Structure 1
């Protein structure tokens, strides 16, 4: 910023909101269990809740970055608490009103005017040496996570899959680096939702240019656009196909229908969307399962336990797929 230039905090807040929306951070589907903070941003030092636009800014940032804690702290407050912000971590903007005493230019009367000010905070998970009050605790009665063999076989059978790492409190696919990030299995409400969420991100990854090339890494689309909406529907339907193969039935399609309904104006009444998305979702599921189809409906199958078991169903699915193409 040039010396003497006043920061336009209103514009900074607006730009941050638009940035979050463009990044697709609206959590319409999140089966991942949080800590004990209940999603309301709070200051670790004072324990007070943030208010107004700060609630949106910090909660959205926590979602975007996968922070599991609702607690935030300033750089100096972290030091005071014998903690430290990790090197390289970026702060988040918090704004507040401050009353300033001045004189009315016309009447000369003493008045106070509100001025928008700001300061920077960090999530507790960006710091070392601090223990947030809402840190997840292990319930002694919790049943240990047990992988579902058929679901694990699908993941293992995806031969050119992206890298998969665990951590944080959300799930997403980064097309530019071809990586899936997902919360630890124990943080999900149940193992079926864990695999359904992982399948959703796996289907997204088939859109990479080195796979089915839906333009995910070459033609990024903003949140809420028709192309974005279609990609989300493809991921949900593809996850439902994979869940059926794995023998689980997560509530994905119903949520997709609600998503389409909520974005009707953006989708501009595209009556072909569902059929087109279903065809793309089937192709994505086929890619992950290692199945390929010829024009004569004959099926060439890569030998995996899941594919062998579903070979007969695959032929039927291929016939149905041709209706979508």
Structure 2
């Protein structure tokens, strides 16, 4: 696919999204489809899903919403054939972009006279083919089809949604947040770059637990742009509320939140959309001015989501004693704070009773018969 065709395809996607925003329709990541799973290739690698990233994720998610697909798997015509399946008659595919930034290093073997790959030890200590950075990326385009457009393929093996496990991961994200989180608001939620602190409404102030986690993930995504982390220009440059620079950073935080919740199976809802309605329309203006902005935002959001997963959700990291104690105290206060009960009036103090020391008497041992002993004990009372 030529670059002109890629740009034309991007404009079409952006125009549809911008039109939905202006019409007040739910954005495709708020349509309930996030719980279906993140778009992935139908061919797994080492038994694990290979997820589509950035702009391709957005493109496939949007197409899934348009057609009502609930199966997150996608594949090329060739991949479907290799699996013994086929594409349904009359189905049309979706274009995705692939950028190759590296290539394998091959050198001539003087003994054989043939080119062979050069191997090196990778970061995991394993032998792997050496790669080098390309001076310019190679852009390729592929056409993929959703699994619901296919026949003769294995059904989707969908893991059950386990709220306890999901909540544990989201709570770990909160506890491991590198920006301190304060649960001190009543309807407002924001991140302060100057102090590197997050202020949000407590969980009890949200209609659903998912809405709470979506909002906190959004604010944590902002914090990944801090100069001590990813140093994202859309955050560090600043910008007044309602400005285009402000809208660009908000779009990145929202997409990062989307990617996190796609992967961990937590859904967005109307409550979440209402909390972000103030700047939704500014996104439409930014996207129309530059269709590439959506795809740049998706790239930055993917990096933010990766940072959150590596440093907060999936990694058990050591934290300072003071920081750890503060976080644990706040977490316990939110989850285990005892309910307040009316205070009872204190009881009047009792006057202590003085006890006199007594010396125990020695018991006399009687050597009389049992009957006589019984008479002696009765008399002594």
Answer yes or no: same fold by TM over 0.5.
no
Larger radius of gyration: 2
TM score, norm. by length of structure 1? 0.40
Report which structure shows greater RCO (CA 8 Å, sep ≥6): 2
